[in-house]
Chains A and B, each alone.
Chain A
Amino acid sequence: MDTVTLSRVQFALTTMFHILFPVLTIGLAVYLVLVEFLWLWTKREIYYRMYRFWVRIFAIHFAVGVVSGIVLEFEFGTNFSRFSQAVANVFAPLMAYEGMTAFFLEAGFLGIMLFGWSRVSRPMHFAATCMVAAGANLSAFWIMAANSWMQTPDGFRLSQGKFTVTDFKDAIFTPAFPTHLAHMLVASYETAAFAVAGISAYFLLKGRETEFYKRSLGVAMAMALLFAPLQALVGDLKGMAVARHQPLKLAAMEAHWETNAEGGAPFVLFALPDMKAERNRYELTIPNGLSLLITRSLEGKVLGLKEFPPEDRPHVPVLFWSFRLMVAIGYGLVFLALWGSFLWVTRRSLSDNKAFLLALVAVQPLGFLATELGWITTELGRQPWVVYGLMRTAEGISPVSPGNVLWSLGLFAVIIPLIGWSYFRYVIKTLRLGPDLESPIPPVQIPAGMIPLKRDRELTRAG
């Protein structure tokens, strides 16, 4: 194997591992902000206990996210140094800004968030949580700006293979950026909401600490109801942006070979795309569906794959299927969010319906899967380019021998399963251990008129 393939495999492996962590920490940080806000506002002890429980999951998750992220920052140089050196003027400041505005914020306040309970006041602790959440969201802002620039580059001049910046505003706010960022942020909130909901549902089914998990589920489902339908909307807008700025990528995602000359383009529900024969096998379509989706008219023109030279096309079957699976999961989650709100409206309870709880347990990891599938779609859809339409991935590689990359790839192939497996064990262990409802609350954190757990139970029963 050559350096190009090995480097791509390594980058794919390390990013696909890494993204599992930020996608939850960004959303879980927001969940924690919500829970701590409720604690400050209602003074109900149960919210304090919820925070202390879910923050343990957050901490383990965060640590793996941090260390797996460092790898990526250096891989731009170790494995794609020609790309890095060519685009640095435009691209690198976004990474530097990420470190400066986001990572410092997260890391600077994480210590207080985790260990500062007896050392700072209630508002100060809440501020620390907000800062960590802000940092997590800002890091998404910069990294999505950087990735968007690779998808739809703007704000630069290209001469002799080197990019120089003309306007940073254009380089950050590229055409892909708004929907790209929104899609990722909403994915994080949604994934975290369903992750918490699934775990809570599991323990409700087991009948453990029901008061605690009912409340955790309630907050999570409120988030889910807001973000799952929103994601469908954002996804639709993103599809239109891709069609406008990366039509080839869209055609591959939809396995759409021929530009519709007369009549509308169909939406392909099922197919086995064949890249050699340039057509789909076993196709099942909805007439005019794609035209309607992309152009908002029955007969709008949608460019087909055959408009573009074969050497510029991404891998159609992978894109077609990863995109479809992601969308299916997205709608599945919308359905569950609506089901939950229906239960709430009709019965005032989420935890009585066993089928609903079982379904939540089943979809618990699907947010993570959808995130992976989405990234596979967008990144493989950028191929064969590293800077879309301007620089091929093979041109961006480092001048290192395949042996180097084989060695590091082997190293990561050992480290990642080891860390991933340990991570899993400790998360499961923390969950099994369950919430700590006994430990005394540090005196500085106890508000006047706090509603202790017992009183809370009576209020809930009465209310």
Chain B
Amino acid sequence: MIIVWSGLVALVMILYVVLDGISLGVGVLFFSAESEAQRDTMIESISPVWDANQTWLVFGGGAIFAAFPVVYGVLSSALYIPLITFISGLIFRGVAFEFRANAARKGPWNRALFLGSLVAVFSQGLTLGGILSGVRVIDGHFAGGPLDWLNPFSVMVGAALVPGYGMLGSCYLILKTTGPVQARAYRQAFWSGMAVLAFMAIVTVWTPFHYPVVMTHWFGTPRIYFVWIFPLMGSIAAYMLFKALKARGERLPLLCGVGLFLSGYFGLLTSLYPLAIPPSVSVYDAAAQPETLSFMLVGSAAVLPLVIAYSLYSHWVFRGKVKMEGY
């Protein structure tokens, strides 16, 4: 049961990262639009779906709270500052959609969308970096200081996530737009893809030094037999991404971009498992009682397939290139 929930939470988190990564990425790229019409196009590409994408975070938070209460409690105390900053970014990003549509002067809400997305992405990276740097836990409660999460490594992860989501966003814009917005998205996808590769290389080398247990995880059995798959998968995805960008493919770049993210994410999970909070709390220490886990599993098994079905339906309704439709 605990393993099932580890898998489910991991799935929900990656769904959030990829889906909202796309929306946040478009937000981060917002600065580069050259006219109000181009901004309209970019916004229109995500406005019917951004809220549904973000809901994976809300559910993810609830699922972690219910399935791994210790993770929820400890991490939110330990990462208080980056988490609140992250949420503040999401607030400005979220209201900017509606407010911009109603504003006579769009400038402030253009900036709110861009800066809100940027702050959200960077602090999300800080949060991840902070977790990877290790959290002091005594008796199942956080026992460190307010700025424990702040170090060069977490800042680097924050910086890495910006081109990461920029890559997802630009690949999505390639799929959804035409003309100058699409042409720029091709260039942005190329450069952000390059940056992502560079950062992934740095992270792969730095993580084991920053955090030695990863090294023993990598080179111990049974992980040594399959841990190399993820860099390989990432390399293939990157190679195909650049090829697809050169060939001006419209769908393939997004798929490859997502593939690149997945390779990094799975690599990360394999490095950590069974740790839920490094260096000392495992998923077994952090899990809720079995009755709670099974109550949640029944609901998830019944409801989540429906959720995925109607989310796909909604994406299908809004398939194809962006058309300007107000409401």
Contact B61 A73 (CB under 8 A): yes
**Taking the complex as formed, is B70 at the interface, i.e. its CB lies under 8 A from any CB of chain A?**
yes
**Taking the complex as formed, is A88 at the interface, i.e. its CB lies under 8 A from any CB of chain B?**
yes
How far, in angstroms, from A111 to B50 measured CA to CA in the complex? 9
Report A390-428 CB contacts with B as 1/0, cut-off 8 Å: 000000001111011001100100010001001100100
Question: What residue in chain A is nearest B68 (Cβ atoms)?
Answer: A88
Question: What residue in chain B is nearest A422 (Cβ atoms)?
Answer: B99
Residue from the set B54, B57, B70, B73 with the largest chain A CB neighbour count within 10 Å? B73
**Taking the complex as formed, is A92 at the interface, i.e. its CB lies under 8 A from any CB of chain B?**
yes
**Taking the complex as formed, is B237 at the interface, i.e. its CB lies under 8 A from any CB of chain A?**
no
- B290–chain A nearest beta-carbon distance, Å: 10
Contact B59 A96 (CB under 8 A): yes
Known: A76-B65, A111-B318. A415 touches B88 (CB 8 A): yes
Report B287-319 CB contacts with A as 1/0, cut-off 8 Å: 011011001100110011001001100100110
**Taking the complex as formed, is B6 at the interface, i.e. its CB lies under 8 A from any CB of chain A?**
no
**Taking the complex as formed, is B74 at the interface, i.e. its CB lies under 8 A from any CB of chain A?**
yes
How far, in angstroms, from A76 to B72 measured CA to CA in the complex? 9
Task: Flag the segment in A113-121, A199-207, A243-251, A270-278 that touches B.
Answer: A113-121
Question: What residue in chain B is nearest A93 (Cβ atoms)?
Answer: B66
Kindly state the interface size class of chain B when it binds its partner: 35 or more
Determine the chain A residues whose CB is within 8 A of the CB of B289 once the complex forms: 89, 164-165
**Taking the complex as formed, is A104 at the interface, i.e. its CB lies under 8 A from any CB of chain B?**
yes
**Taking the complex as formed, is B244 at the interface, i.e. its CB lies under 8 A from any CB of chain A?**
no
Determine the chain B residues whose CB is within 8 A of the CB of A97 once the complex forms: 62, 296, 299
- A116–chain B nearest beta-carbon distance, Å: 6
Contact A93 B55 (CB under 8 A): no
**Taking the complex as formed, is B231 at the interface, i.e. its CB lies under 8 A from any CB of chain A?**
no
Determine the chain B residues whose CB is within 8 A of the CB of A67 once the complex forms: 90-91, 94-95
**Taking the complex as formed, is A453 at the interface, i.e. its CB lies under 8 A from any CB of chain B?**
no
Determine the chain B residues whose CB is within 8 A of the CB of A404 once the complex forms: 80-81, 146
How far, in angstroms, from A57 to B46 measured CA to CA in the complex? 20
How far, in angstroms, from A22 to B14 measured CA to CA in the complex? 28
Contact B325 A84 (CB under 8 A): no
Contact A81 B327 (CB under 8 A): no
Contact A109 B310 (CB under 8 A): yes
Q: Which of A50-72 contact B (CB under 8 A)?
A: 52, 55-56, 59-60, 63-64, 66-71
**Taking the complex as formed, is A445 at the interface, i.e. its CB lies under 8 A from any CB of chain B?**
no
**Taking the complex as formed, is A103 at the interface, i.e. its CB lies under 8 A from any CB of chain B?**
yes
Report B69-104 CB contacts with A as 1/0, cut-off 8 Å: 110111111001101100110111011011100110
- B309–chain A nearest beta-carbon distance, Å: 10
- A425–chain B nearest beta-carbon distance, Å: 8
Known: A95-B65, A419-B91. A112 touches B317 (CB 8 A): yes
**Taking the complex as formed, is A310 at the interface, i.e. its CB lies under 8 A from any CB of chain B?**
no
**Taking the complex as formed, is B58 at the interface, i.e. its CB lies under 8 A from any CB of chain A?**
yes
Does more than half of chain A's interface fall in helix, strand or loop, or is it mixed?
A: helix
- B51–chain A nearest beta-carbon distance, Å: 4
Contact A96 B66 (CB under 8 A): yes
B299 touches which one: A66, A100, A105, A112 (CB < 8 A)? A100
How far, in angstroms, from A90 to B88 measured CA to CA in the complex? 29
**Taking the complex as formed, is B143 at the interface, i.e. its CB lies under 8 A from any CB of chain A?**
yes
Determine the chain B residues whose CB is within 8 A of the CB of A109 once the complex forms: 310, 314
Residue from the set A66, A108, A408 with the largest chain B CB neighbour count within 10 Å? A108
Contact B94 A63 (CB under 8 A): yes
Determine the chain A residues whose CB is within 8 A of the CB of B141 once the complex forms: 81-82, 85, 399
Kindly state the interface size class of chain A when it binds its partner: 35 or more
How far, in angstroms, from A426 to B52 measured CA to CA in the complex? 23
- B88–chain A nearest beta-carbon distance, Å: 6
Contact B51 A93 (CB under 8 A): no
**Taking the complex as formed, is A107 at the interface, i.e. its CB lies under 8 A from any CB of chain B?**
yes
**Taking the complex as formed, is B47 at the interface, i.e. its CB lies under 8 A from any CB of chain A?**
yes
Report B101-141 CB contacts with A as 1/0, cut-off 8 Å: 01100000000000000000000000000000000000011
Known: A109-B314, A399-B77. A99 touches B95 (CB 8 A): no
**Taking the complex as formed, is A341 at the interface, i.e. its CB lies under 8 A from any CB of chain B?**
no
**Taking the complex as formed, is B281 at the interface, i.e. its CB lies under 8 A from any CB of chain A?**
no
Contact B318 A89 (CB under 8 A): no
Residue from the set A398, A401, A423 with the largest chain B CB neighbour count within 10 Å? A398
Known: A84-B65, A399-B142. A111 touches B73 (CB 8 A): no
Contact A104 B70 (CB under 8 A): no
- A18–chain B nearest beta-carbon distance, Å: 11
**Taking the complex as formed, is A37 at the interface, i.e. its CB lies under 8 A from any CB of chain B?**
no
Determine the chain A residues whose CB is within 8 A of the CB of B69 once the complex forms: 84-85, 88-89, 92
What are the nearest 10 A-B pairs in CB distance?
A77-B76, A88-B69, A111-B48, A99-B59, A96-B62, A92-B66, A81-B73, A67-B94, A85-B73, A426-B102
Chain B residues packing against A (C-beta within 8 Å) = 47-49, 51-52, 54-55, 57-59, 61-63, 65-67, 69-70, 72-77, 80-81, 83-84, 87-88, 90-92, 94-95, 97-99, 102-103, 140-143, 145-146, 288-289, 291-292, 295-296, 299-300, 303-304, 307, 310-311, 314, 317-318, 325, 327
Given A107-B55, A419-B91, A429-B102, 11 extra CB contacts under 8 A: A60-B98, A63-B94, A63-B95, A77-B76, A78-B76, A88-B69, A99-B62, A100-B299, A112-B317, A398-B80, A423-B99
